[in-house]
Structure 1
Amino acid sequence: MEDEIRLFIEYLQIEKNSSSHTVINYQKDIGDFVVFMKQQGLDQFAAVSYVHVRHYLTILHEKKFARNSVARKISSLRSLYRFLLREDLVPQNPFQMTSLPRKTERLPKFFYQEEVEELFKVSDLHTPLGQRNQTLLEFLYGTGIRVSECCDLNVQDIDTTIETILVRGKGRKERYVPIGVYALEALDRYLKDGRQALMKSQTHNKLFVNYKGDPLTTRGVRKVLQKIIKSTSLTMKITPHMMRHTFATHLLNEGADLRAVQELLGHAQLSSTQVYTHVTKDRLQQLYRSYHPRA
């Protein structure tokens, strides 16, 4: 089975151009299923039947996996078998007839404008780390890029002349995203002062660095945001993705076109962007009072 898994991973990386994060998720889902197969005395993918699939789903249900997690596992294994079937390595796809459990729809968590302003007040702009933190906040909120995309930014990806950044998204797709004046101001301060101080003897081109001058990781970004919110009066948790949610929500609440927001976020499907079309109570009341004839 190891050779078949290796071929599938190469297919994801080369033909599908999948991101490293996607590949890791596939490997985990397949690895969990291989453990189940060994428990059932199965030593090859071709030996798996629909009965085995139903048994596996029962076990996932008994372990109380969330519906979204089960749906992802089925999708991963269905893709694996679709590939193996294409390569004539299995006689059938036992996951083909398995229906995906309906995903739990949850509204994305986001910050209100007043809460965002709180976040921007805490960084000490006279210190290198404070300058970096402020720039990081401005980029996450001002561009809506993913945390992985943010950590992947190089200094040369920033074009201050036309006020855009080159972002490498999922599937290595590239897109240009505009940046605003606040982000540009923070960036200029950080590049001229803070980043140089943090870099020390380092020579790489990554835009965001840690206190040692090494490239900032996604885990490092999460720690920075947690430290920032602890310095405010806010009580909620914060994640990099919440800043992305906030970016999209604020744009749509102010009347931005859904297709434009889709492009800014780098979503392949419009349905991924539509989750942000919820509106805040304040915005609902504002719309009602502005447009209803008897408001």
Structure 2
Amino acid sequence: MTAGEGRDHGRFDVVLEQFERHLRLERDLSPHTVRAYLGDVTALIAHLTAAGQTDLSGLDITGLRDWLGDQHQAGRSRATLARRTACARVFTAFCHRRGWLASDPGLLLGTAKAERRLPKVLDQTEAGAVLDAPAPDEPKDLRDRAMLELLYATGMRVSELCGLDVDDVDRDRNTVRVMGKGRRERTVPFGLPALRALDAWCVRGRPLWVREGSGPALFLGVRGGRVDQGTVRRVVHTRLAQVEGAPDMGPHGLRHTAATHLLEGGADLRSVQELLGHASLATTQIYTHVSIERLRAAYRQAHPRA
């Protein structure tokens, strides 16, 4: 702790600024996660301010529980409460290390478990209808098909897709280099349909959209810049809406679908973990539940004594 930080003694504006730097620079969290954590801490600070506190010196386990209790009374979901509990722990640990708190009250918080809902996924017929739908040979259509094929073939996140550069694709080995969460790099294979779609985009589509500032981005927007996540989401929603009976989902739904179909096809859980870039195998296990639920549904429909 610097002398200036000591004099500020946990003043809220200083704390929030330093916590943001910690999340961005020291923990290297994504911009989305940083925004979520800052929003949670801002809500906590508002709660403390309403209780008459002007700095962190009075923050204790009672204050944390009161804040979370208010969130519960306001009808916040279990997932939100779980995230805010986790954020409170990160925040109080940070403040304790900085000397703004004499002890770490977050250590006394119980664990709020989020309800894990099974993700929506396409069945294999629906996935085929989404990917094989006829489309014109125009740059936008070539790009959209390539993005959809790659999302389904690799299970990558939409942020990872948007961050791809041309030289991340190895056409000789049918693999793509992906930069995932926490700047963890992984190499993911893909099949011939995705390769053909990528070649069509790179040969007949991308050259028509390239501009001086396009750089090495693999997928471009109509103005020549790197494609953004909102555009990819619109493409996925639009294509799914054209398939009768398909559930409405975004790019993450294609990620769920890819993982589920891999497991249903006999892939082992550890391989799916590597392909998706999950840091923990426990995160990947949700897809075994998806497959079991689909098996149960088929059993109930088909077995005479189900």
Q: TM-score, normalised by structure 2?
A: 0.88
For the residue of structure 2 that corresponds to 1:85, the secondary structure is helix
Measured against aligned partners, the alpha-carbon deviations of 1:64-90 in whole angstroms (never above 9, x if no partner) come to 000110110111121011011122221
- The alpha-carbon deviation at position 219 of structure 1 amounts to 1.3
AA matched with 1:240:
P
Measured against aligned partners, the alpha-carbon deviations of 1:180-221 in whole angstroms (never above 9, x if no partner) come to 111111000000111122234543221112222222111111
For the residue of structure 2 that corresponds to 1:175, the secondary structure is strand
Equivalent in the alignment of 1:171: 182
AA matched with 1:232:
V
For the residue of structure 2 that corresponds to 1:95, the secondary structure is helix
Stretches of 4+ moved more than 4 A in 1?
A: 280-287
Equivalent in the alignment of 1:153: 164
Equivalent in the alignment of 2:51: 40
AA matched with 1:242:
G
Instruction: Work out the CA distance in 2 between the residues paired with 1:106 and 1:186.
Output: 33
The question of whether the paired residues in 1 share the 8 Å contact of 2:214 and 2:226 is answered with no
Instruction: Work out the CA distance in 2 between the residues paired with 1:12 and 1:88.
Output: 18
For the residue of structure 1 that corresponds to 2:107, the secondary structure is coil
Alignment RMSD: 2.0
For the residue of structure 2 that corresponds to 1:99, the secondary structure is coil
Structure-2 change in CA distance of 1:157 and 1:3 (3 Å): same
- The alpha-carbon deviation at position 138 of structure 1 amounts to 0.6
State percent identity of aligned pairs: 33
Equivalent in the alignment of 2:209: 198
Equivalent in the alignment of 2:99: 88
AA matched with 1:136:
M
The question of whether the paired residues in 2 share the 8 Å contact of 1:251 and 1:261 is answered with yes
The question of whether the paired residues in 2 share the 8 Å contact of 1:123 and 1:131 is answered with no
Residue in structure 2 matching 1:183, options 191, 194, 199: 194
Moved more, 106-115 or 200-209: 200-209
Measured against aligned partners, the alpha-carbon deviations of 1:90-144 in whole angstroms (never above 9, x if no partner) come to 1122222111222212112110000001111335141111101100111110000
For the residue of structure 2 that corresponds to 1:103, the secondary structure is coil
Equivalent in the alignment of 1:258: 269
Residue in structure 2 matching 1:211, options 204, 222, 235: 222
Structure-2 change in CA distance of 1:247 and 1:235 (3 Å): closer
AA matched with 2:153:
G
Instruction: Work out the CA distance in 2 between the residues paired with 1:11 and 1:176.
Output: 29
- The alpha-carbon deviation at position 19 of structure 1 amounts to 2.1
Equivalent in the alignment of 1:240: 251
Equivalent in the alignment of 1:144: 155
For the residue of structure 2 that corresponds to 1:9, the secondary structure is helix
- The alpha-carbon deviation at position 282 of structure 1 amounts to 6.6
Matched, 1:131 2:131: no
Gapped runs of 5+ residues in structure 2? Answer: 1-11, 300-306
Measured against aligned partners, the alpha-carbon deviations of 1:229-249 in whole angstroms (never above 9, x if no partner) come to 222323521211110000100
Residue in structure 2 matching 1:107, options 110, 114, 118: 118
Residue in structure 2 matching 1:118, options 125, 129, 135: 129
Instruction: Work out the CA distance in 2 between the residues paired with 1:280 and 1:214.
Output: 42
- The alpha-carbon deviation at position 223 of structure 1 amounts to 0.8
- The alpha-carbon deviation at position 26 of structure 1 amounts to 1.3
Equivalent in the alignment of 1:2: 13
Instruction: Work out the CA distance in 2 between the residues paired with 1:173 and 1:123.
Output: 36
Equivalent in the alignment of 1:291: none
For the residue of structure 2 that corresponds to 1:166, the secondary structure is strand
- The alpha-carbon deviation at position 15 of structure 1 amounts to 2.7
Instruction: Work out the CA distance in 2 between the residues paired with 1:230 and 1:253.
Output: 25
AA matched with 1:253:
E
